[in-house]
Structure 1
Amino acid sequence: MATAPVYPIDGVPYRTDAEAADWFSRGCWIDRTAGDALRVAAATWGDRQAIVARGTAVTFRQFDERSERLAAALLELGLSPGDRAMFQMGNEIETAVALFACYKAGIVPVCSVPHYGRAEMAALARLTGARAHLVQADAGGSTDLVASAQDLRGEVASLSKTIVARGDPGGRAHGYEALIEDMPLARARSLLARLRISSRDVMKFQLSGGSTGLPKVIPRFHAEYLGHARDWALQFGKDETSVCLWSLPMVHNGGQVWALFPTVLIGCMLVLSGTGIDEIFDAIAAHRVTHGMSIGPIAPKILAHRNIPRARLGSLRIFGTMNRAAALEAALGIPCANVYGLTEGLVSIAPPQAPAERRHQTNGTPATPQNDLRLVVPGTEQAVAEGAVGELCFRGPSSLTGYVGDPAATARALTADGYVRTGDLFRLSVRDGERWLVFQGRDKDNIDRGGEKFGVEDIEVLIGLHPSVADGRVVAMPDPIMGERACAFLVLKPGARAPDIAELGAFLLSHGLATFKRPERIEVIDQQPVTGVGKLDRAALRARIAETLSREQHAGTQR
């Protein structure tokens, strides 16, 4: 059993030796690194296809060998175990290879996404002390990610290496493919064999949206994450014959714990696609997909589709969605289930064989049964009465130990005895002796736009710089496709003209805000509402925009 991390990182809160021994002894943690898990997979399933993406594929052996060669190349570039590497890569095979190359080399990916703006990337690089930046040249849309990465190197002192996939690296960066091709497999394996990475070492830095602008950094560790992913796969009914579809960025926690790691751990095939619904339907039919998942806008887009080809989707055994499982099941004609999860270490779903009532009317049970659940009065540690609604708190083998470099956020996130506050409201329904989660709403100021969760503080700071704005506040507004979008409530300076959506968006982008965080509606008001104690009443703003949208929708149906 692993006794201690080999490459401890300053600012990371680790489990104690006693806690680790307990989770190992109970079978919740797997005493293996992610890199070794892929090596075992290659030895077990060799020439079987592991990942398929839009006409390309890799076998388990190719996946293992390419990640070995890239891992060694990263070390020969001068990176070391424990160093951090920023990621801005899309839903591609190259991303999977790059992630596992880092895991094998002991390099810690900082799991950002391509559409993070300059401001977020610079702040994350400083917070994590990142030394490398991996970018996918064709993943930035209208943003030149390669040029942005080069500029970032000049701005953040710790950044010294830029690696570019699927594009020209230019003079100051390294080409992803060239690094692999120039590293012989035998030399790579010899170099990596000298490393001794512990299963208790940090595997990656995952990001979590929060009530502040900058995402919070969550350390995830090899042993706990492998156990977490295994439990999730088994709860979802996956086995060696499964074919799983993923359509959102792979660096998301969901993309790894639900899609990538089960492929390595149990030998199921992973199919990658874009978010276009017809592309998803084509991928399901072409590869006989058995397991699908919607985190974000996929399920609403399916429900809005005019001609769902049910005859082509018969291979599906189950489809998971954040909500509306009953409607999705009626549309697809296959079992669907509501899921719940957050990066801080909890996922739950009803298994495929569960009755429809539990798949549709609950969010399942925790995939890892050793999680302890507690409902409290929001903002307190007082337990609610039996059967009442309260904020869900949990503690278990994969629960948050603390945010990196942010003790204040950690204190807000954890109860005195170490339970993680989710900020989400639930009630617990006891059925056949098991506790099933029933989602009731949110108690956070965060916005969840199609699976991208973000806080509003940084948006509001930048809006406050606009010359027409005296005060600007941002809240979530309901949206049938994305779940939520950002709405800005503006109090204007005397005589000023309100910016329109395009003007405000351009202003925010010019100040480095990520595109997906831009407000998509503006409401001009005379003053911001406050609570009885004089604090901003965000609940009133959310209720106001929800009522406005409802009224507009009703008026539209009357015409």
Structure 2
Amino acid sequence: MAFATVLDRYTQRDIDGFYRDGLWDRLTMFGELEKQNRIRPEKVFISDSTKTFTFAEVHEIAVRLAAGLHRQGIGAGDSVAVQIPSWAEFAAISMAINRLGAIIVPVQPIYRTGEVSHILRTAEVKAVFTVEEYRKFNHVEMFLAQRGESETLETVITVRAEKPHAGALSYDELLVPGPLANLEAEIGSGLGPDDAFAIVFSSGTTSKAKGCLHSFNTLACSARIQGEEYNYSDADVQFGPSPVTHTTGLVTSLILPLIFGAATHIMERWDPEEGLRAIEKYKCTGTINASTFLQTVLGAFDPLRHDASSMRFWTLAGAPIPAPLVEAAREAFPQMKIISLYGRTENVTTTMCHIDDDPLRAVTSDGKALRGQEVRIIDFEGHEVPLGEEGDIAYNGSMHLFEYIGMPEEERAMFTEDGFSRSGDLGRMDEDGYVRVTGRLKDIVIRGGMNISVREVEDLLAGHPGVDQVAVVAMPDPTMGERACCYLTLQDEGNRLSLEEIKGYLLDKGLAIQKVPERLEILDEMPSTPTGKIQKNVLRERIAERLLASAEK
């Protein structure tokens, strides 16, 4: 399969403008690493709970890994998957793949045979880095079994393997000894920053994950502009609890600190107590992730035991941000700016607030278009709607994917005639250009012909003192077409909430009776992606199946 190129998405005039405006740069990811290795080789670049690597160490390991991959037949344009936890080795592995001009295919560790098979087939993966066993699941055996069925997968490499595994190479075996200059010459030249760099698969909150093909520039552009918004510098230390094998972690825990010469600390498994200890130990200054992470940190934070005073900003992205959460964070961490951001795998960052914005902006909006980017609110025909009216949030700019791999019809349907991509997310824009995400097109509950925005209901319920997490979805109904079903997790499992209590609370808040959920489901835990997005597709399917089973009895 021939993947799309930069000229399939952008005109030469567009490209020239992106370079002129400093949105794109001539360096590849490996080129950025070489730059930092020249400037600050002994500075620690990346750490996890057990390992640290300096810029010089990452550079050396990346060259040796690239040479090993080269000897395994991996070259420019080949796809290499990486399914490991958030371990510090991810940096050198990614740099090595990029040094060859190969394409990085990050795979989230929770994915199993069904998702992995789809990714291997879609991205035409030729080699994979994985773990032997992690969280009681044998990943290497899964990939070896997949190799027997795949038309492209040839090489399976294990990271942090305790012993050799038949049929697989180890990470250490792949490190080629010898002078780096000789290995560089053996590898030859790679590709450029506008060539295919990564295929990142969407989280799959609504359907089968889509493979989004990006160049280094389309991803790094987000890091460059976010850095400007944060007043970022080499003095910063990024805190990275989101998986590095997805867009948020890849861009903000690896690319952002890399291009600014900063440091980064990543976590393989989220635990708020451990997170607070890491922030204090490494003097972390900023982070970008879903609201779930901040919410659990606030639950664990004790000012007598924890010191988070180094944190300058905490950007909330990937899931709706309840206003009470922002207000609680401002109380607990007064020195830290709470910033809202809205993005998606297809174009990385759509809107965000500036670090110097009025703090209320994070409560009332999800930010505005970044420098050099355009955002519109459009109707179903692609026409811009008047300010303040709800519509589909559409983006155009220098961070667009090149293509949905193998899904041309979905890709065509996403774009308007004038180059804006429909997000499928609903929002409103104010007179200052700030956008508020109000829900998803599929989040609308159409009850007897009335459109109910679930975001309105969720925001109100998020303020209930007994509610931890909330998700409202449509459930099928033979009379009304759809009704609203409310899923909750509770702050105190011993203090159960009833549907009548929820109804009374919402009505007291002024919600119209037609918008009040008509079914309540209490969960121990919400189904969510590793990046913290609640999987509403799972909840919709769950309630539909339950209703069908009840009807058949």
Q: Normalization by structure 2: what TM-score? A: 0.78
Partners of 1:425 and 1:179 lie apart in 2 by 47
Partners of 2:78 and 2:154 lie apart in 1 by 11
Partners of 2:477 and 2:275 lie apart in 1 by 43
Matched, 1:123 2:118: yes
**Please, which of 286, 294, 298 is the counterpart of residue 291 of structure 1?**
286
| 1:521-546 deviation per Cα after TM superposition (whole angstroms, max 9, x unaligned) | xxxxxxx43698xxxx5xx35x1235
**What secondary structure is seen at the aligned counterpart in 1 of 2:243?**
coil
**Please, which of 362, 369, 372 is the counterpart of residue 371 of structure 2?**
369
2:477 maps to: 529
Partners of 2:3 and 2:288 lie apart in 1 by 36
Contact 1:236 1:349 in 2 (8 A): no
Matched, 1:230 2:224: yes
Q: 1:531 to 1:216 in 2, by over 3 A?
A: farther
Partners of 2:301 and 2:222 lie apart in 1 by 37
Partners of 1:328 and 1:353 lie apart in 2 by 17
1:236 Cα deviation after fit: 2.5
Matched, 1:10 2:11: no
Contact 2:395 2:422 in 1 (8 A): yes
1:321 Cα deviation after fit: 1.6
1:328 Cα deviation after fit: 2.0
1:20 Cα deviation after fit: 1.8
| 1:405-460 deviation per Cα after TM superposition (whole angstroms, max 9, x unaligned) | 111110221112221111112222234xxx222222222369xxxxxxxxxxxxxx
1:279 Cα deviation after fit: 0.4
**Please, which of 417, 425, 439 is the counterpart of residue 437 of structure 2?**
439
1:268 maps to: 262
Contact 1:338 1:359 in 2 (8 A): yes
Contact 2:45 2:264 in 1 (8 A): yes
Contact 1:24 1:30 in 2 (8 A): yes
Listed as ranges, the gaps of 5+ residues in structure 1 are: 1-7, 447-477, 490-527
Listed as ranges, the gaps of 5+ residues in structure 2 are: 445-460, 491-496, 506-553
Contact 2:429 2:435 in 1 (8 A): yes
**Please, which of 49, 56, 65 is the counterpart of residue 60 of structure 2?**
65
1:353 Cα deviation after fit: 2.1
Q: 1:488 to 1:374 in 2, by over 3 A?
A: closer
Q: 1:46 to 1:481 in 2, by over 3 A?
A: farther
1:252 maps to: 246
Counting only pairs closer than 5 Å after superposition, residues 62-461 of structure 1 correspond to structure 2 as 62-138=57-133, 140-167=134-161, 168-180=163-175, 182=177, 185-192=180-187, 194-210=188-204, 213-273=207-267, 274-295=269-290, 297-305=292-300, 307=302, 312-322=307-317, 323=321, 324-333=325-334, 334-347=336-349, 348-366=351-369, 368-377=370-379, 379-431=380-432, 435-444=433-442
Partners of 2:286 and 2:83 lie apart in 1 by 26
Partners of 2:26 and 2:301 lie apart in 1 by 48
Percent of aligned positions that are identical: 21
Q: 1:146 to 1:531 in 2, by over 3 A?
A: farther
Q: Normalization by structure 1: what TM-score? A: 0.77
State the aligned residue count.
467
After TM superposition, which residue ranges in structure 1, 4 or more long, deviate above 6 angstroms? 547-550, 555-558
Contact 1:136 1:164 in 2 (8 A): yes
Letter in 2 for 1:146: V
Contact 1:11 1:405 in 2 (8 A): no
How large is the Cα RMSD of the aligned pairs?
2.9
Q: 1:183 to 1:171 in 2, by over 3 A?
A: farther
| 1:4-51 deviation per Cα after TM superposition (whole angstroms, max 9, x unaligned) | xxxx94355443333322322232211221111111111111101111
Partners of 1:553 and 1:90 lie apart in 2 by 43
Partners of 1:338 and 1:555 lie apart in 2 by 28
1:169 Cα deviation after fit: 4.6
Q: 1:97 to 1:201 in 2, by over 3 A?
A: same
Partners of 1:398 and 1:95 lie apart in 2 by 23
1:211 Cα deviation after fit: 7.0
**What secondary structure is seen at the aligned counterpart in 1 of 2:82?**
strand
Q: 1:429 to 1:65 in 2, by over 3 A?
A: same
1:145 Cα deviation after fit: 0.4
Q: 1:544 to 1:222 in 2, by over 3 A?
A: closer
